[in-house]
Chain A
């Protein structure tokens, strides 16, 4: 059956289905009489109205339309829905003054909402309906540096307002000025949060260098740029601080050499992840008694091939798997690891993009679900094998075929009838299937699938105005 072209056809189809989710999906492409009809359908069933107000997939235009509702429960759900747009939140704030008992509760959620406009947050601060509302703003990244500074000005007079310090210290919008205020009067935990902040000024980092508190040192070590400070921190008795030195990109080779002898395996694990290790260091770490150190070496993208070869015989199967997952792993090692006695290692070979077709054909003969899922996912797997796997009784394997970007239309077609709704849902966006193929999904027994299908057609309508 050929798909008809116009948006009206799709909207009429949604209206005639009587399904509120189908309606929601096409609302954005409707207008005039049809849009009014859709609104009436949505508002006629309170239960569906409540569900749409809190549903994570409800389109923005529908959430905007729902903000016309005076139902306090719908309003509350809209304020809590992270997708609700700014204009709707402003409208809801204004309406919350109309004597509803849920006003304060609504305002708290609006103050928390990341789509709330900065201007509205400023008004909420000035109205000041209580500590909880102000605290919600202090945690909101939409609040700008100026608003956060204003909140901090409450603190000195009243102990209870000190809660703002901690939340502002972790708010990404906090300015250097605000952070300085907090650092000067904060406890060690708050100071540590300030040091970790992306906007922390250099001045505070310098101050922290002489701080002996371990919480501050742990954060400082991640941002430290001075080699003498790093050298001092490398001697620190706290393992986490030394781990920080081992992870710091600026740590020089001389310190790396020193940390190689660290008694803590945690420090050596951090070193093994570095991308600037020298070959001698890599060769030393590949023999470490801690299997995690060897694993990180096996995963490291700079590890030489001869080291990968040694690690491909490691006694720990997770290390061998790490070799198979390494993007640099050569085909010759993948061939050997494809015969590993551990299925989890073979599974890594099946998922590896570098695995050639002949290996995948062999692995497809296995019965292990992880191996077969990898084969189903791999872009080098021949279409004939994908077609067999699409008929597997294991849903995980069939899903692997759906996720394979190289699975062709003929391979995917039987999966449109898959018993698991999630699989049909995933096919809605698949570019290998055409609009004609997807039309049947508009009649799917599952509402999620129907909604996704209608949304897909509505999106197509918005972008091209024709479906065929």
Chain B
């Protein structure tokens, strides 16, 4: 029997969605039915997250009460180090986030663990654990294995795994916080645009919406579709200007260039010069627009002249089955 340890990430009293993606990734790494997925949650109100963490795929939730509510790199590193020594997990999964950047590498180095960052595929190939991540500015996929390592620490890219559904009743235990001298303290919480949103310059699969979306309620429909399809929802300028999606999701001259994107599905995006400046380099662009003369078709690899709502319905039908 082996153990896969997941570290829950929370911010401002809210669990970050990537935590549930990590649980899904952990499920995929189980080699036998006896293998266990343990989720550790660290913080002064750690117990308040137990209900939310009681989801399918979790066998045990470990509550680690600390003196501070939010993330602290020293506390997380010391706690994780104690957890690894105590529980002997074969794999430790952390979100690839600004938090884990602060302690994951040090931890792996100190404990001589295998280490891979920004992983988007984690799987066993035979008996060997293999992590896949991007290389050379996301131009190639790099497979990393960890010969001779009894424990591997991975930071997992947000959006790479679909969260599991359904509630469960895992065992809840407490784990004592080890003695730790913290060298840093939280002064102020400053939120980035879009509420610590995903960085669209690093994602590979984007679904983008434009004026053709019509009204705000329809944005939610496409956000739902993007989530189901495993895409990151982005937009053209008018959508962000209307406040329907955060500015951090805006592609183009006024927004961001989606440097790592490999598949870009443009829904109801006419293709203004300003928008295309941020995405025309993407190798596979699929454009859906009712107007056959829309500029977006000039750069699309695949063009569909159709109502975006028909295509949305069809994709939903395909994904629902």
Q: Which residues of A contact B (CB under 8 A)?
A: 56, 80-83, 112, 114, 139, 170, 196, 218, 238-240, 243, 264-266, 269, 289-290, 292, 295-296, 299, 315, 317, 322, 325, 341-345, 347-348, 350-351, 367-370, 373-374, 377, 395-396, 399-400, 403, 420, 422
Contact = CB atoms under 8 A, between A and B. Distances in A.
Contact of A315 (B14, B167, B191, B310): B14
A348 B243 contact: yes
B14 A368 contact: no
A114 B220 CA distance: 32
Nearest to A299: B217
Residue of B217, B220, B243, B291 with highest tally of chain A CB at under 10 A: B243
A196 B317 CA distance: 14
Nearest to B305: A139
Main secondary structure of the interface of B (DSSP, over half): mixed
Contacts of B190: 367
B194 A343 contact: yes
B13 to A, nearest CB: 7
B234 to A, nearest CB: 15
Contact of B224 (A114, A170, A269): A269
Contacts of B184: none
B43 to A, nearest CB: 15
Contacts of A373: 240-241, 243, 247
Interface string B195-234: 1010000000000000000001100100010000000000
Nearest to B55: A289
Contacts of A295: 220
Main secondary structure of the interface of A (DSSP, over half): helix
B140 interface: no
Contacts of A325: 216
Contacts of B125: none
A82 B12 contact: no
A322 B14 contact: no
B306 interface: yes
B16 to A, nearest CB: 11
Interface residues of B, number: 38
Nearest to A214: B321
Contacts of B303: none
B241 A289 contact: no
Residue of A112, A325, A367, A377 with highest tally of chain B CB at under 10 A: A325
B52 interface: yes
Contacts of B305: 139
B292 interface: yes
Given A239-B321, A317-B14, A343-B191, A289 B243 contact: no
Contact of A400 (B194, B241, B295, B320): B241
Nearest to A348: B243
A56 B191 contact: no
Contacts of B321: 238-240
Contact of B52 (A82, A315, A317, A348): A315
B306 A342 contact: no
Given A218-B317, A347-B243, A422-B254, A370 B293 contact: no
Contacts of B246: 344, 347, 370
Contact of B316 (A238, A243, A344): A243
A240 B320 contact: yes
Contacts of B243: 347-348, 350-351, 370, 373-374, 377
B165 A112 contact: no
B274 interface: yes
8 residue pairs, one from A and one from B, having the closest CB atoms:
A82-B293, A240-B317, A351-B243, A344-B195, A369-B193, A239-B320, A341-B12, A343-B191
A243 B167 contact: no
Contacts of A290: 165
Contacts of A82: 291-293
